A and B are shown apart, each in its own frame.
Chain A
Amino acid sequence: MQDILTICNYCGCGCGVYLSVDNDQVVGSYPSKNHPISRGNLCSKGWQLHEFIHSDKRLSSPLLRKNGSLQEVSWDEALDFTAAALMTAKQQYGPDSIGVLSSAKCSNEENYLLQKLTRAGLGTNNIDHCARL
């Protein structure tokens, strides 16, 4: 068993939480006593933080719509298809025909990369996320 200190994935409080890991399975969560926000406390969501990670409803493979339904494909196929589709939209209708939604659930690094890709790669400022929702 290993206990990994990380930050809760739910609200904007940002509590310090330990994930208990056994054999690559996250089996429990408990609060950090030293962390300046949580100080040994969590809410009901925080205490159950590990529960959704191994849900059997997690997506397990890239999906591509073929003949109207989503079908499992390889990463390369999904990535190639997406890159080509975005470049086609850019060439046909111009960069501002592409819209990108980033996420308040993803890391700073991921948000930074996605806005960089949107601005430098796609050539549009059409990027936003759900801060207001």
Chain B
Amino acid sequence: MVGLATSFGSGAMTNSIAELEEADVLLITGSNTTETHPQIGRNILRAVDRGAKLLVIDPRRTDIARQAHIHLALRPGTDIALINAMMRVILDENLADDLFISMRTENFIQLRDYLHRLDLAELAAITEIDINTIREAACIYARSSKSVICYCLGVTQHTCGTDNVQAVANLAMLTGNVEKKHSGVDPLRGQNNVQGACDMAALPAVLPGYQSLEDMSIRARFEAVWQRPLPENAGKSLTEMTHAGKDGPIRAMFIMGENPALSDPHLHRVEETLEQLDFLAVSDIFLTATAKLAHVVFPAASFAEKGGTITNSERRVQLCRRAIPPIHDCRPDSEIIMELGRRMGCPGMDFDSDAEIMEEISLLTPIYGGMHYDRLAENHGLQWPCPDRSHPGTEFLHKYYFARGKGQFTITRHQEPYEKAAEKYPFTLVTGRGSYHHYHTATMTRNSRRLVREYPQAKLEIHKDDCRRLNIADGEMVELHSKRGIVRISAQITDRVKPGTVFSSFHFFEVPINQLTVSAMDPKSKCPEFKVCSAAIKKVNHD
């Protein structure tokens, strides 16, 4: 989000999901779309059926990569080298959109000069992709005026994640593929309300609607409505809180609907941090790994037992409707927060309905200014920015001008991942969401009988050549080691990964793969490098 916000002025998907279907070229990078965003995947495949070209950048041969006209199977962590190579080709072939660049962007000259100094053959060698394949993909992308880029955590979960995103934004601006329907840059959001949680400023350095914490007039507005002075300094990010370690600065935590004891990198460190807190309260629907460490656990109502709105990837704010009353003695999180607020003497914690909370949100958040419940109910939601009651919502962003004024080119340089494969740890471990049937830490999907039946246990994807060399059979339990930990996991012989690379998901608490991952993160976005760490496979001794 930081990356795209720097380039364009807004970190959200520029297009609508339905537009993807009408695009002529789709460049999908770091997204296993058909498994993790199935309905967006469906739109992409519909476009391909119509004759669109599909380009996929992914170290794994995922299902969508198999459907691609060109699959750019790069070495993990070399996205910038690849995008820079594509941009260099576009310059060499004279395919840049000069008019767009001069009217709508800034900083181009610096980027152009930098790209001219790069050696194409060297970049191709870094990515381990054939130079002609890169050239062909770059030309296909640049020659169409309806080219869309979709990216996901495969791009952001690197120590250079922000730069990766800016490289992608550079590529789109270089060819003028933003500002209009059917062309843009689309970060796909992993969870149902990541977009909304960001919009609402569940973030340490902004106020709702991405408004500046430092702007005095904005602060005054919030302070007037909230009747309290606002804290001045930006707060700590999630990993800064959960990795503070023993005797860290955080002494008490309140965690609502999250499971950092399974989802965060370098889990031993997270456990150590959470265990030594003076106080930990968790609100969740199940007794998660995190809740087991808490002093107080609140039983929360599930999505079916409460109302409220959520915002999807395409910025569409949608109404959820209560289907049943809370089961057992559960309560919606909104009630829990307000009860706590009242007990702590915080003013403005006595709303009677979700609609009334939204009124305050609309009042303080210009992009949500016209999000009223009666309108949301009539329209299958509305897409922000929607500044007032008469505004129809916004289908695609950056028409006529970027949110920040001019689009900003940023020079992005290749850097090697934090951890290199070494003699002791010769494999590169990539982690992510690994199944069509499971979701994040699988708190919900593993309580779903049929989903468990379809995908009962964690698997480690190992290339068939590596399996043959190490004499590993399909389904055999192996040990996966990194400098930080060991897990036991079932081997899956495959050609989805390349030799030397292995892949697994973090869905299964019995195989906490994040005990192995590195906590090194992008310095700007604080996004951890889940996509690259060094690992070794060892056979389990059965005697």
Contacts and interface: CB of A to CB of B under 8 A. Distances in A.
B210 to A, nearest CB: 13
B250 to A, nearest CB: 4
B448 A52 contact: yes
Chain A facing B: main interface SS = mixed
A99 B236 contact: yes
A37 B192 CA distance: 13
A88 to B, nearest CB: 8
B428 interface: no
Given A38-B39, A59-B287, A116-B226, A48 B297 contact: no
19 contacts: A4-B323, A9-B302, A12-B313, A36-B17, A37-B316, A41-B42, A51-B449, A53-B302, A54-B327, A98-B254, A99-B250, A99-B254, A104-B193, A110-B333, A124-B231, A127-B203, A128-B204, A129-B202, A132-B156
Interface of B: 1, 17-18, 36-40, 42, 153, 156-157, 188-205, 208, 213, 226-231, 233-238, 241, 249-258, 260, 263-264, 278-279, 281, 284-287, 291-292, 294-300, 302-314, 316-325, 327-334, 336-341, 343-349, 351, 354, 357-358, 360-361, 380-381, 436-439, 444-445, 447-451, 454, 525-528, 530
A107 B42 contact: no
A13 B17 contact: yes
B167 to A, nearest CB: 18
Nearest to B316: A14
Interface in A94-118: 95-117
Contacts of B448: 45, 48, 51-52
Given A52-B447, A126-B235, A99 B253 contact: yes
Nearest to B311: A108
B226 A97 contact: no
A45 B446 CA distance: 11
Interface in A34-61: 34-38, 41-46, 48, 50-55, 57-61
A61 B328 contact: yes
Question: Chain A interface residue count: which class?
Answer: 35 or more
Interface of A: 2, 4-16, 19, 21, 24-26, 34-38, 41-46, 48, 50-55, 57-65, 70, 75, 78-83, 85-89, 92-93, 95-117, 119-133
